[in-house]
Amino acid sequence: MTTGTRTQNPSGPEKQETRQQHVIDKLRTWASNGTIDPRKKLSESGLAEALGVSRTPIRHALAVLVEEGVLQRVGARGYRVRAYKVADVIEAIELRSMIEGYAAKKIASEGPSPTLLAELKGCLREGDDIFENGGFDDPVNEERYAAMNLRFHTLIIEAAGGNLLHQLTSLFDRVPFGAPDSIRFDNITRKERAQHLHYAHWQHHHMVSALIARDGARAESLFREHGEGVKISLGISKGLFAIDGSRILPIFDLDSPAGHINGLMQDDSED
């Protein structure tokens, strides 16, 4: 963790770099969690207005996200969220779950450090607090849950060590809904959303218990099962919820008519 006055109060070139990274991160998140409609053509001016910045950081961010494969160019000056096949999204989620399971198994075999346990338990307390004051009929602060979830999963990868694990998970994060903070649901009720997130958080508790018990096999299997919940929430895997296929996400099904994203026709007339 970086500390110090300069990081807390950046100025000059450092402040500009921090602002630029914020724009990149924000647009990447919007693209990957479905905030940006994948059918819509994006413009520098429109995004600059939405983020309250000039076109210069937007222009740079768009170039970076095209290079990452998050966005694609449309015509001379337009952009659109890159749509992924359902099979690609499933593969990204499953591979990430496998890698996190491997990382958890490695941590369990060596025994989690006191520092790691303290940080993971902090995530558990944060999650418990999110659900403490309401039942399933009450709305869940999904933004707060997403931040906690990202922290929890990042801790596992960081504790396992190795640059390759970081590189692989970073790659999967670029695929829509591959990142732990991409909390997105298909057409399910508020109560079902709360139930889904509550169940996922209980899995976090069991994961930490498995690490403490140094039960690598159980820790690994819990992370793999955790990934199944993500697929269910997106409506790309069968679960407890009645999915009607009405999602508007940057993924598409090859079994639907050609050129459709989630059952809705792409408008490629501008290409």
- Answer yes or no: do 74 and 124 share one domain: no
Residue 258, in any domain of the structure: no
Residue 256, in any domain of the structure: no
153 pLDDT tier (thresholds 50, 70, 90):
very high
Is the pLDDT at 84 greater than 80? The verdict is: no
Task: Pick the more confident residue, 186 or 81.
Answer: 81
- Answer yes or no: do 133 and 71 share one domain: no
Confidence at residue 191, expressed as pLDDT on a 0 to 100 scale: 78
Whether this prediction's pTM lies above 0.85 is answered by: no
- Pick from 152, 161, 163, 146: nearest CA to 117: 152
Confidence at residue 119, expressed as pLDDT on a 0 to 100 scale: 97
Q: What is the mean pLDDT of residues 76-85?
A: 80
The CATH number given to whatever domain includes residue 178 is 1.20.120.530
- Answer yes or no: do 151 and 29 share one domain: no
Is the pLDDT at 156 greater than 80? The verdict is: yes
Confidence at residue 125, expressed as pLDDT on a 0 to 100 scale: 95
Confidence at residue 260, expressed as pLDDT on a 0 to 100 scale: 39
Confidence at residue 237, expressed as pLDDT on a 0 to 100 scale: 65
Confidence at residue 116, expressed as pLDDT on a 0 to 100 scale: 96
- Answer yes or no: do 120 and 165 share one domain: yes
Residue 100, in any domain of the structure: yes
The CATH number given to whatever domain includes residue 23 is 1.10.10.10
Tens digit of pLDDT for each residue in 29-59?
A: 787 667 788 788 888 888 999 999 998 999 9
Residue 242, in any domain of the structure: no
